[in-house]
A and B are shown apart, each in its own frame.
Chain A
Amino acid sequence: MSGRARKLWRSGEPFIWLTGGALALSLLLVAGLVGLILASGLGFFWPGTVLRVTLADGKAMTGQVVEREPIPAETGQYRIKLKVANRDLYGADFQWVDESGIVKREYPPEMAVVERTEWGLLIGTIKELREGGKTVAAGPEAAWAEVRKRLPEAARVRRAILGIEKGEIGAINHAQERIRLRLAGLERRGITAGAEVDALRQQMAPLQARYQEHTARLGQLRSGQTASMVVAADGGKEKDLPLAQVIDVYFPNAMGALAKSGHYAAKVWEFVSDDPRESNTEGGVFPAIFGTVMMVMMMSILVTPLGVLAAFYLREYATQGPFVSAVRIAVNNLAGVPSIVFGVFGLGFFIYFVGGAIDRLFYADALPTPTYGTGGILWASLTLALLTVPVVIVATEEGLAAIPRGMREASLALSATKLETTLRVVLPAVMPSVLTGLILAMARAAGEVAPLMITGVVKLAPSLPIDGFWPFLHLDRKFMHLGFHIYDVGFQSPNVDAARPMVFTTTLLLLLIVVLLNLFAISLRNRLRRTYAAAGV
C-alpha cells in the first residue's frame, strides 16, 4: 500500500463510507421490496378503463390493458396484454394484441364490467333485461336502469340464502351431528335400543322436519329469482346472466376519479371483510386474516409462559456450569433448525401421538373421523410456539442478566424470599425483554408457512375456529392463513394469471398485519419500559 493510500485508509474516512454504503444498500433493498409489493398490490382494485380495439382484419377486442411490452423479435414494436375476461365465452382471460395491428382505439362509456359469483369478470355491453325469459327492457340504458332497480333485491336474496345455508341449516347439521355421535357412543357400549336411544331418535325427527322446511324456503327463494340480463361481448357472443349471480356492475369508462375512488375503497373493504369465492381467486380473504391473527395470538399465549419459565430456570436457579452452557447453546441453535422440521415434529408428536390419544380417550364416538388427530389451529399454534420458544428464552435470559444484582439484594434484604423477589421485582423488570422476544417470535410465526401446511392450514376452511356453536372456540378446526393463501392463489389456482395481482395484495396485507401486531407489542413494551425503566445498571 502506498503511503498516501495508507494514510487515507488510516484516517477512517473510507471505512465510514463502506459502512454507510452497506447500510444504504440494505435500506434500498428493503425499500425496493416494500415498493414493489405496494405498487403491484395497491393497483388491483382500481377500476381500470375498458379499451376496445379494432384490428386491421375488422375483429374487435375489448378489455382492460394489463401490460405493454416490446415484442421480442421485432425492434420498435410493442404489444399489449388485454384482460378480456368472459372466460366462459372465450376460454381465456387474457389476449396479447400487437399494437401494429390496431387500427382504432376507443373507450365506449357503455362498457360494463360485471362481477359475478362464477367464471370471473364479464365485460361487455348490457343488451336487455329478461324476466322469466321474456324481455322487459332492451338497449343499454333502459336495461341498465332495470338491472339497477333489481340488484339490491338480488343481493338481499343472496344474503338470505347464505344466511339460511350457513346459519339455520348449519345449526341443524350441528345438532344432528351431536345426536348421531351420542347414538354412536351408545352403540359402542352395546346399547342399540331402549329409552335412551328412542329419546335421541325422537329428537332427530323435528330437526329433519326443520331441515325440510328450510330447504323448501331455499327453493322458494331461488325460484323467485327469474330475472337475468343479457350482456353482449365481442364476436357477437352473448351471455344470459341470471341476476342472482351478479354481485356488482360498474362502468369504468364513465366513472370519474371520485367514483373510482369510492369503488376502490368498497373493493378494499370487501377484500378484507369477505369470504373468498371461486377457489380463492375472487372475493375476500377475511378467513385467512382471522386465521393468521388467531394463530399468532394463540402462539403468543403458549410461547410466552413456556419461554419465560424456561429462561428463569436457566438463569436464576440452574447452577451455571458446562451442562447449562451446553443447554444454552442447544437452545440458541434450535432457532436455526429449518421450520419444516418443526412441522414434521408437530405432525408426528402433536397430531398423531397426542391428538390420536385425545381422540381415543374423549372423542371415541366420532372415530374413525379424527377430531384432534388431524391438523388444527391448536396443533399449528403449538408447533409454531415450539419453533419460536428459543427466541423468547434468549431474550428473557438477556433481560435477566441485565437486571442489577443490587435490585435483587434490596428485595432480599427487606426479608423477601427468593420466590417473592423473583415474582415481585425480577419478573416486572424483565417484562420489556420478554416482549422484545415476543415481538421477534410473532414476526417469525406470522410469516411461517411450511410447518403450517402439515399441521392444520387448508386452502379453504368451511368455518372459522370461533363461531356461535358451543364451545365457541374450536381448537381442533383447520384454518386459513395468509401466507399459505399467497402460495395457493398465486401458484395453485386454476387461473394463475388472473389471480396473480391478488398475490401481491395478499402479501401486502400479510406485511400490514405483521407490522400491526408488532406495533401493538412495541407500544406495550414502551409502556412497560416507562414504568419499569431499569435503574442505570
Chain B
Amino acid sequence: MAGPVKVSAGLNPTSREVPIMEIPMVEIERVSLWYGEKPALKDVSMSIPKHRVTAYIGPSGCGKTTLLRCLNRMNDLVDGVKITGTIRIGGTDIHDPGLDVTELRKRVGMVFQKSNPFPKSIYENVAYGPRVLGVRNRNDVDGIVERSLRGAALWDEVSDRLPDSALGLSGGQQQRLCIARAIAVEPDVLLMDEPCSALDPIATAKVEELMLELKNSYTIVIVTHNMQQAARVSDYTGFMLLGELVEVGVTRQIFTNPREKKTEDYITGRFG
C-alpha cells in the first residue's frame, strides 16, 4: 500500500489549510467513461482517504453517480460502457483481469438512492451477504446480523421482529437496513448513492449521524444533491460538472473558499 500522501494529489494543494496527511484507500487515475458514444466521465483523478467521509456534489447528470458506480464496477452491467484509466482500491487495480468482480464487491459495499430491501424478512436481508459468501453456521449468521443491525443503529427498533418482512419498515428504517446489509459483509469501502434523497429530515439526520459513526470503521464515499448534507457529514468534498472533477479539497475549504469560479457559482446557488 502506498504511504501517506496529500489528499489533493493530482490537483493543486490547498493554500489556506494545512496539508493533511492521509492514507489513501481509493486511488482514481485519469478515469474516463463513455456510455456508447456519450462521454460521462472525463479524465478524473483523485484519491479518497481511508476512514473519512468523502462527498461528491454537483448538478444532475454531472457524472458523480457514474464515478461512484465505477468503484464497485456496477457500470459493468450497463451495455456499451467503455472505461479507461486506473482505479486502485487498497492498492489493487480493480480492473485486473485476475480479480473476480465479486471479490471486489465484497470489499466495496453499496447503499442505493432508493432503499431496496429484498422482499424477505429483516433477518434474511442482513444475512443475505454473509450467506452468499458461504457463512453457514447459524450462530455465526445470528452474530453477524445482530452486529450489523447494531452498527446501522437499527437493532433496538427491530430486534423483536427480525422474522417480519423488511417491507413493513418505514423508509428511514429500510435505508438503515440496507446499510446494515451492506456492512454485514464487512467491506473496506462503503459507497452511498444519495442515501437520503427519499427520506424525511428526521430519518436523514439519523442516517447522517450513522455515517459519522461508521467512518471509524469504513471509508465512506457519498454522492449527494444536498450541499448542506455534504457540509455536515463529509471531511472531503469533490465538485463535479459535466463529467469533470472541477475541484476537490477539504470540505470546509470547498464551501467557504473554493478556488474555482464554477464551484463558487454552484455553491452559492447561481446555477445547478
Please tell me if B106 contacts chain A, counting CB pairs below 8 Å: yes
Encoded as 1 (CB less than 8 Å from any B CB) or 0, chain A from 512 to 537 comes to 00000000000000000011111100
The CA of A414 and the CA of B185, in the complex, are separated in Å by 7
Please tell me if B77 contacts chain A, counting CB pairs below 8 Å: yes
State whether B77 touches A412 (Cβ < 8 A).
yes
A413-B109, A413-B110 as given contacts; A404 in contact with B102, CB under 8 Å: no
Which of A199-207, A252-260, A416-424 contacts the other chain?
A: A416-424
How far in angstroms is the closest Cβ of chain A from B67?
16
State whether A409 touches B116 (Cβ < 8 A).
yes
State whether B116 touches A407 (Cβ < 8 A).
yes
State whether B102 touches A417 (Cβ < 8 A).
yes
Which of B35-43, B128-136, B248-256, B264-272 contacts the other chain?
A: B128-136
Please tell me if A241 contacts chain B, counting CB pairs below 8 Å: no
Interface size grouping (class) on chain A: 20 to 34
- Tell me which of A412, A420, A535 contacts B74 (CB under 8 A): A412
How far in angstroms is the closest Cβ of chain A from B92?
15
Please tell me if A273 contacts chain B, counting CB pairs below 8 Å: no
The CA of A420 and the CA of B132, in the complex, are separated in Å by 8
Chain A positions within 8 Å of B165 at CB level: 530-531, 533
State whether A413 touches B118 (Cβ < 8 A).
no
Please tell me if A411 contacts chain B, counting CB pairs below 8 Å: yes
State whether B112 touches A425 (Cβ < 8 A).
no
State whether A533 touches B167 (Cβ < 8 A).
yes
The CA of A425 and the CA of B110, in the complex, are separated in Å by 17
State whether B74 touches A415 (Cβ < 8 A).
no
State whether B106 touches A535 (Cβ < 8 A).
no
Chain A positions within 8 Å of B77 at CB level: 409, 412
State whether A415 touches B116 (Cβ < 8 A).
no
Encoded as 1 (CB less than 8 Å from any B CB) or 0, chain A from 388 to 422 comes to 00000000000000001011011111111100100
Please tell me if A429 contacts chain B, counting CB pairs below 8 Å: yes
Main secondary structure of the interface of A (DSSP, over half): helix
State whether A404 touches B116 (Cβ < 8 A).
yes
How far in angstroms is the closest Cβ of chain A from B17?
34
Q: Which residue of B is nearest A403, CB measured?
A: B119
Chain B positions within 8 Å of A417 at CB level: 102
Please tell me if A428 contacts chain B, counting CB pairs below 8 Å: yes
The CA of A123 and the CA of B241, in the complex, are separated in Å by 98
Chain A positions within 8 Å of B109 at CB level: 413-414
The CA of A413 and the CA of B119, in the complex, are separated in Å by 16
A406-B114, A424-B128, A424-B132 as given contacts; A413 in contact with B167, CB under 8 Å: no
How far in angstroms is the closest Cβ of chain B from A233?
71
Encoded as 1 (CB less than 8 Å from any A CB) or 0, chain B from 171 to 192 comes to 0000000100110010000000
A413-B182, A414-B105, A414-B181 as given contacts; A425 in contact with B118, CB under 8 Å: yes
Chain A positions within 8 Å of B114 at CB level: 406
How far in angstroms is the closest Cβ of chain B from A194?
58
How far in angstroms is the closest Cβ of chain A from B205?
24
State whether A414 touches B119 (Cβ < 8 A).
no
How far in angstroms is the closest Cβ of chain A from B106?
4
Please tell me if B258 contacts chain A, counting CB pairs below 8 Å: no
How far in angstroms is the closest Cβ of chain A from B190?
11
State whether B74 touches A411 (Cβ < 8 A).
no
Encoded as 1 (CB less than 8 Å from any A CB) or 0, chain B from 112 to 131 comes to 10101111100000001100
Chain A positions within 8 Å of B104 at CB level: 415
The CA of A530 and the CA of B163, in the complex, are separated in Å by 13
B115-159 with Cβ < 8 A to chain A: 116-120, 128-129, 132-133
Chain A positions within 8 Å of B182 at CB level: 413-414
The CA of A410 and the CA of B106, in the complex, are separated in Å by 12
The CA of A412 and the CA of B132, in the complex, are separated in Å by 10
Chain B positions within 8 Å of A406 at CB level: 112, 114, 116
- Tell me which of B72, B128, B133 contacts A411 (CB under 8 A): B128
The CA of A409 and the CA of B118, in the complex, are separated in Å by 11
How far in angstroms is the closest Cβ of chain B from A425?
6
Encoded as 1 (CB less than 8 Å from any A CB) or 0, chain B from 68 to 88 comes to 000010100100000000000
How far in angstroms is the closest Cβ of chain A from B89?
14
- Tell me which of A410, A420, A530 contacts B118 (CB under 8 A): A410
> Quick one: which of A412, A417, A530, A531 has the most chain B CB within 10 A?
A412
Please tell me if B96 contacts chain A, counting CB pairs below 8 Å: no
Chain A positions within 8 Å of B110 at CB level: 409, 413
Closest 6 CB pairs of A and B: A406-B116, A413-B110, A415-B105, A414-B129, A415-B106, A415-B102
Besides A410-B178, A416-B128, 10 new A-B residue pairs in contact (Cβ under 8 A), listed by A number: A411-B118, A411-B132, A413-B72, A414-B181, A416-B102, A428-B120, A531-B120, A532-B120, A535-B117, A535-B167
- Listed by A's residue number, 27 A-B pairs whose Cβ atoms lie within 8 Å are A404-B116, A407-B119, A409-B74, A409-B110, A410-B117, A410-B181, A412-B74, A412-B77, A413-B74, A413-B105, A414-B105, A414-B182, A415-B132, A415-B133, A416-B128, A416-B129, A417-B102, A420-B132, A425-B118, A428-B119, A428-B120, A531-B119, A531-B165, A532-B119, A533-B165, A534-B119, A535-B117
